[in-house]
A and B are shown apart, each in its own frame.
Chain A
Amino acid sequence: ETGVTQSPTHLIKTRGQQVTLRCSSQSGHNTVSWYQQALGQGPQFIFQYYREEENGRGNFPPRFSGLQFPNYSSELNVNALELDDSALYLCASSMDRRQNTIYFGEGSWLTVV
């Protein structure tokens, strides 16, 4: 049990739709990162938020966007879904940007049909 919870655990969307995934960080953690993990691949960094501001971004298009709230919970939004967006989306929280200890949630499985 890492204290990081994600919702929903599974969902199916149609190509072109929009999706919002949610993450509740471990208490006291002000940094959250989102990752996309395709089947059989390692996680790919999407972006990181620190104290409600984006603090780094991977090689993902602008239709991937995020938010971090004052209570440090977070959202990942994906617009205009494509079939290749089907993946496990992982949220990870840490106490600070140095991420000496990172705790992952169980992920949200997104299937785009």
Chain B
Amino acid sequence: KNQVEQSPQSLIILEGKNCTLQCNYTVSPFSNLRWYKQDTGRGPVSLTIMTFSENTKSNGRYTATLDADTKQSSLHITASQLSDSASYICVVMGGGFKTIFGAGTRLFVKA
């Protein structure tokens, strides 16, 4: 069964600290993996997209990694800011344009 699992479910960190969010997937065949940021009540906004051959991709303070062998990805946020408080969703696209969303990690950044 095609699934995307994210951990932790929620996370609280202090402003300025780093954090890492995890994504494990069982989607096959694999096309690409994306990370989205979703503010409460808003539509998701793309952070990174990685294909099978890419191991790392950065977007400012966001760095995503992908291990296609173990089917794991992580999103690392450096020097967190209050505005980073949001849900971070891992999305895997498989065969036939099938798109599987994870449930998201809810990040709270506190001053």
Interface residues of A (CB under 8 A from B): 2, 4, 33, 35, 40-45, 48, 55-56, 88, 90, 92, 97-107, 109
Identify the closest chain A residue to B90 (Cβ): A42
User: Given the complex of chains A and B, what is the CA–CA distance between A42 and B4 in angstroms?
Assistant: 10
Q: Give the residue among B31, B41, B102 with the most A Cβ atoms within 10 A.
A: B41
Which of B43-51, B59-67, B68-76 is near enough to bind chain A? B43-51
Contact of B93 among A40, A99, A104 (CB under 8 A): A99
Chain B residues in 8 Å Cβ range of A90: 43-44
Residue interface bits B18-52, CB-to-A below 8 A is 1, else 0: 00000000000001101010000111111001000
**26 A-B Cβ contacts within 8 A?**
A2-B43, A4-B43, A33-B99, A40-B106, A41-B103, A41-B104, A42-B4, A42-B102, A43-B89, A43-B101, A44-B101, A45-B98, A45-B100, A56-B96, A56-B98, A97-B97, A99-B93, A99-B97, A99-B99, A101-B46, A101-B49, A102-B46, A104-B44, A104-B45, A106-B43, A107-B43
Chain B residues in 8 Å Cβ range of A103: 46
User: Given the complex of chains A and B, what is the CA–CA distance between A4 and B32 in angstroms?
Assistant: 22
CB distance from A43 to the nearest CB of B (A): 5
